[in-house]
Structure 1
Amino acid sequence: MEFDVVVVGGGPAGLSAAIKLRQLNPDLSVCLLEKGSEIGAHIVSGAVIEAKSLAELFPDWQNRGAPLNVTVSEERLLFLTKDKAFPIPAFHFVMPQMDNRGNYVVSLGDLCRWLGEQAEALGVEIYPGFSGRHLHIENGRVCGIVTGDMGIARDGTKKPDFTPGMILRAKQVILAEGARGSLSEHAIHYYNLRAKCDPQTYGLGIKEVWEIPKEKHRPGFVQHSFGWPLDTQTYGGAFLYHFGENLVSYGFVTGLDYSNPWLSPFEEMQRTKLHRSFSYHLEGGRRISYGARALSEGGFQSIPELAFPGGVLTGDSAGFLNMPKIKGTHTAMKSGIIAAEAVIEALKDNSVEARTYLPKLKESWLWKELYKARNIRPAFSKWGLLKGAVYSGIDSLFLRGNAPWTLHHKRADNESLYRAAQFINSPYPKADNRLTFDRASSVFLSNISHDEDQPVHLQLLNKTLWKEVNLRHFASPESRYCPAGVYEVENDGSGNESLRINAQNCVHCKTCDIKDPSQNIKWVPPEGGSGPNYSSGM
């Protein structure tokens, strides 16, 4: 199949790019590929967003019925100890990036579904349930993407419903897969796009959606916390948003540059709910959804080269998340809009590369916003929680992001783990099945669709290396950092240990691909349509 442009990824960046392409040139043939079963299937909801990119895309978005109905009405930032919560006074003044006044608490899945409807109305061809297996490259140029085969059995044989993958040819490809996208990583490595930037650093965001009693619901209430339960050298914190019809989005982000191999982001997320500042909101309610995904936290200095022969990177595939704001939707959408403009110009000039993409970004508010936020995240990695917080206040309040220096990320997240013997393995509290839960019951709420008779998409490249490195030195950290219970250490009773991979549990967060110490675990796309299915309204 041939198109003018193929967009990979049905999130905010990809949908914005596809919409803008058709707005600029209604005669352009545009195909959007989404590996989830439908648009929004892989987006667990409850987010605070700025609407300025949406307003650039659709100035009349309110009249069009965009699902932005709840404005932020109250906001708190807390520093937690085990038993107490200390509100940070005047944090809007000290950290203006965290000011959410005028922003909206939304179901991000519903917003993407709405954007999908707008895209289809403009003539974009959307194909959900198809994964991009690899880039199609001819003579050094990306000429399209190849979708994954359907109907391959676990042993590699073809099942009766076998359907081969197809080449979707395109003059330009826009990669908008989110953090650690497989095709994006293919392009980054093939064209050496990270040669001039810092390593990317990531966070693992784990999120639950709760339905709570109506009398406890406070539409537009927003709360963030830092401090307990993480130690002072580990970046992260919790968030809680009231939105929709008696819904609360609760979540926890852990920086994946942590060093303690015994740490479990999932368990840290669960026990934070026991703190009164969060349990108060959730008691009497019930969980209705669960999910996780990696976030690109590196910011400005970790942005790779963005254009390559035949395509561009955009959204979180490129790393446009503003971590101090804890927001990426508005930046992802803006990058998609600019990518579309640059691709249009490349097509008009019959150019192999969208050379105007970076200059256009540098002229935009997006580039200025990320530049001013560039020193906040690395400050926490360099100096830890307390000193990092002090520096962040100085950088934001007095320097306004214009410091004459730039702090850097020195290493990738997989290089940050210390050996297990250097830390104490302190057991986490058992789930009470009221506020806290185990992985199995959590993954059940992800509504995963996964045919077990397909090739395992989580590939352990070298079993011996896993034993020598992961097990011996780090006590199998993948069994703790995975939020879905995919990895388990098995013992055959004779002292022989092996790694069991429960691929059917995978929620597509990509943490294993990022954090594995020797990069011995490789995440490849499973059969299209596999993975979580987060329902509308959540």
Structure 2
Amino acid sequence: MRHTLLASSTHTLRKAVKTLGTFPSSSVINAGLKITRNLNRKNNDLISSSTSWNLLETSKKHFSTCSIQHQEALLENEEEPIEREVMEYDVVIVGAGPSGLSCAIKLKQLSQEAGQDISVCVLEKGQEVGSHLLSGACMEPRSIEELFPNYKDLDVPFYTPATKDRMMFLTEKRAFRLPAIEEMNNHGNYIVSLGQIAKWLATQAEALGVDILPGFAADQVVYADENNDRVIGVITKDVGIGKDGKRKDNFEPGIMLKARQTIFSEGCRGSLTKTLYENVKFKLRENCAPQTFALGVKELWEFPDNHPEFESGLIMHSVGYPLDAKTYGGSFMYHFNANGVNRMALGQVTALDYENPTLSPYGELQKLKHHPLFKKMLEGGKCIAYGARTLVEGGIQALPKLSFPGGILIGDTAGFLNVPKIKGIHTAMKSGILGAESVFEALVKDDVEASTFQERFKSSWLYTELYKERNIRAYFKYGLYPGLLLSGIDSIIFRGKTPWTVKMNTTDHAHTKPISEVTKIEYPKPDGKISFDLLTNLARSGTNHNHDQPAHLKLKDEAIPVNVNLKVYGGPEQYFCPARVYEFIPDQAGNPKLKINAQNCLHCKACDIKDPKQNINWTVPEGGGGPSYLVM
């Protein structure tokens, strides 16, 4: 099939596009436009004829009559400029998660309904769609029903309907059942693998004519000119550069993908979205609270058919132990049957505004499993997969401005997670649907900005849902017990209609205390049966990177890890990272130095968020590298 060929062969793809120019290799590209020649793609079997830019009739010029002017661009220690190939679409979507794929599907549905044809491309940095997606996950089908009203007749990979809900409060040795609240009612929801849901959505998108390119990591934002006031696309990561920064024999420059609208659906803490936030012209975060995050650490277990503690369809969440009363978080445990195999998704979510720099979210999950409630369930089971990912928790107060000239933000990259429900798939998908409607309108009108997105969101059930839950996460900044009390009053008495709004006022890294002000947390040694050392679990993540490439974890100041992080904070990066990317080792003189094991990286982004001095910048490695979460 055309899409399979396009997605599976980098070499064939590169042959299918024209080499037009030379561009900088910085994180932001200023591309001056100059009319030079037409791109002929109609005779290319690999590129759909729908990629013509003249399908929507407007009075403005389209990129089919434009190329990029030549600019000098040097790699470090080299003099040879980079020539890049250019592909042109009406819409380029960065990230093949639930929001990006839903957006692509809705765009194609709208174009068919209107009798128009627009070209849509989705970039995915993972080796295949779904390989970098991690969630619990218990999914509300509301948004998938909007896209496909007949979804019950389709082969959507829903594993098991949710049949039982339990909310528990844990002490070190005991568990207490908490009263059921509306937000935790999972009747009608399904236990799923987010990776499998994404693969299914990708199949539907391809059937509608969407080009999906896995293994292509978007590395740079492209602006129309040096004013940086309009986005016109992205450039993918160069491949074949060695650790020394020099081009290897297999060097291939990244491709420029130009678009009338570029949609960023990178997931939590998107690396390109960060640069958009820094763009003073867009002012995307000018009128919102600071975003706050959590790190979810997850294991997948298998059980024999006769396991006495396995209850297919059970949804259980907990608060309390093993976290202290100042730290927000909790656990999830979902029992389901996947293609005839009994499985359990188990995870611990830890808010990243915790104070103690020696806290390890990974260590907290290992402690949790030895609680009597979990230990009896896990005995006789087998851990088969492991992963970790950050998630957004700021709520509607922390949502940025959603549109800007040339693009929009959707999904977790903006922050649509419903924290009290512990659900974000249906909200991410809905944001993609709303974004598609706004972008399609902008394309038809030939508007530079999809400016109706903000109002369309405010008029939707998504806004109503998030507004109702807006205060719950913020209450817990006062501690566990005040948070439980206040959230109960908000949910049960006021039903989300409180006359006040509580905000998170500081970023997560600012909460980290010096090591001198805390007691170091000592974690028990794993037993190898229920709990595991980190490297053993890391092997279950399927993580793989090309070792001979520049580290994608970049330090702004190489002196800070030892002189500040280690001396003042006890080296928190060695504790918060769930993949042992960061470790302090002695140099030849016996002095400590930070070693970065970039090949271990799970792409969770915790380091980018929690580093006390914001000295670590997470960037994309070569496309295709990273974890493989398809079974998760």
Tell me, yes or no, whether TM beats 0.5: yes
Deviations 1:7-45 (A, max 9, x none): 111110001000000011141100000000000101235
How many Å apart are 1:466 and its aligned residue? 2.2
TM-score, length of structure 2 as denominator length = 0.83
User: What is residue 264 of structure 1 aligned with on the other side?
Assistant: 360
Name the SS for the 1:133 alignment partner: strand
What are the residue-to-residue correspondences of 1:57-136 with 2, within 5 Å?
Answer: 57-89=147-179, 91=180, 95-136=181-222
Residue equivalent to 2:128: 38
For residue 223 of structure 1, the aligned residue among 316, 323, 333 is 316
Counterpart in the other structure of 1:10: 96
Shift of 1:419: 0.7
> Residue 342 of structure 2 is aligned with which of 243, 246, 251?
246
Residue range with higher mean Cα deviation, 463-472 or 246-255: 463-472
Q: Does 1:313 align with 2:409?
A: yes
Residue 28 of structure 1 pairs with residue 118 of structure 2? yes
Query: Shift of residue 493 of structure 1?
Result: 6.2
- Residue 494 of structure 1 deviates from its aligned partner by 3.7
1:200 aligns with 2:291: yes
Other-structure match for 1:162: 251
Deviations 1:240-276 (A, max 9, x none): 0012221110000000000111111110011101112
Q: After superposition, where does 1:393-472 map in structure 2 within 5 Å? A: 393-472=488-567
**Over residues 474-519 of structure 1, what are the superposed CA-to-partner deviations in whole Å (9 max), with x where a residue is unaligned?**
0000000000000000113644111000000000000000000111
- Aligned residues of 1:174 and 1:314 also touching (Cα < 8 A): yes
For 1:465 and 1:44, locate their aligned partners in 2 and report how far apart those are by CA, in whole Å.
31
2:396 is the alignment partner of 1:295: no
The AA in structure 1 aligned to 2:332 is F
Is the contact between residue 395 and residue 403 of structure 1 (CA under 8 Å) also seen in structure 2?
A: yes
Partner of 2:44: none
Q: Which has the higher contact order (CA 8 A, sep 6+)?
A: 1
The AA in structure 2 aligned to 1:199 is P
**Where does residue 303 of structure 2 map in the other structure?**
212
Matched, 1:329 2:425: yes
Choose which of 550, 564, 568 in structure 2 pairs with 1:473.
568
Q: Percent identity?
A: 51
**Contact 1:294/1:511 (<8 A) preserved:** yes
Q: Which amino acid aligns with 1:161?
A: N
Q: Is the 8 A contact 2:294 2:390 kept in 1?
A: yes
Q: Aligned partners of 1:224 and 1:532: how far apart in 2? A: 26
Q: Flag the structure with larger Rg.
A: 2
Q: Return the match for 1:234 from 319, 324, 327.
A: 327
Counterparts of 2:237 and 2:463 in 1: how far apart (Å)? 35
Task: For 1:44 and 1:338, locate their aligned partners in 2 and report how far apart those are by CA, in whole Å.
Answer: 23
Assess if the C-alpha contact under 8 Å between 2:375 and 2:530 holds in 1: yes
Unpaired segments ≥5 residues, structure 1: none
Q: Quick check: 1:496 aligned with 2:594?
A: no
In 1, Cα distance between the equivalents of 2:283 and 2:595? 33
| CA–CA separation in structure 1 for the residues paired with 2:481 and 2:294 | 19
CA distance in 1, matches of 2:569, 2:401: 34
Rounded to whole Å, the distance in 1 between the matches of 2:109 and 2:215 is: 25
Q: Which amino acid aligns with 2:266?
A: E
Q: Which amino acid aligns with 1:515?
A: K
Look up the SS of the partner of 1:468 in the other structure: helix
Which residue is equivalent to 1:177? Answer: 266
Name the SS of the counterpart of 1:215 in structure 2: coil
Matched residue, 2:627: 532
Residue 287 (structure 1) shift: 1.0
Q: Give the letter for the 1:112 counterpart.
A: A
The unaligned stretches of length 5 or more in structure 2 are: 1-86
Look up the equivalent residue of 1:232 and give its one-letter code. Answer: A
Deviation at residue 46 of structure 1 after TM alignment = 4.2
Work out whether residues 103 and 432 of structure 2, in 8 Å CA contact, stay in contact via their aligned partners in 1: yes
**Deviation of residue 116 (structure 1)?**
0.6
Hey, what's the Cα distance between the residues in 2 that align with 1:463 and 1:65?
51
Shift of 1:471: 0.9
Distance, in Å, in 1 between the alignment partners of 2:453 and 2:301 is: 40
Q: Label 1:493 to 1:163 Cα distance change in 2 as closer, same or farther (>3 A).
A: closer
Q: Distance in 2 between matches of 1:464 and 1:364?
A: 48
Is 1:44–1:290's contact at 8 Å kept on the other side of the alignment?
no
Q: Which amino acid aligns with 2:576?
A: Y
The normalised TM-score by structure 1 is: 0.97
Count of aligned residue pairs for this structure pair:
532
* Partners of 2:527 and 2:149 in 1: CA distance: 48
Match status 1:505 vs 2:600 = yes
Q: CA deviation at 1:387?
A: 0.7
| Cα RMSD for the two superposed structures | 1.1
The answer (yes or no) to whether the contact 1:46–1:209 under 8 Å persists in 2 is no
SS at match of 2:306: helix
Check conservation: 2:354, 2:511, Cα contact below 8 A: yes
CA distance in 1, matches of 2:189, 2:521: 40
Check whether the contact 2:544–2:600 (CA below 8 A) recurs between aligned residues: no
3-state secondary structure, aligned to 1:237? strand
CA gap 1:420/1:149 in 2 versus in 1, 3 angstroms: same
Contact 1:448 1:533 (C-alpha < 8 Å) held by counterparts? yes
* Structure 1 pair 69–429 and aligned structure 2 pair: CA distance change class (3 A): closer
Q: Any residues of structure 2 matched to 1:138-153 within 5 Å, and which?
A: 138-139=224-225, 140-153=229-242
Q: CA deviation at 1:465?
A: 2.1
Aligned to 1:389: 484
Partner residue in 1 for 2:611:
516
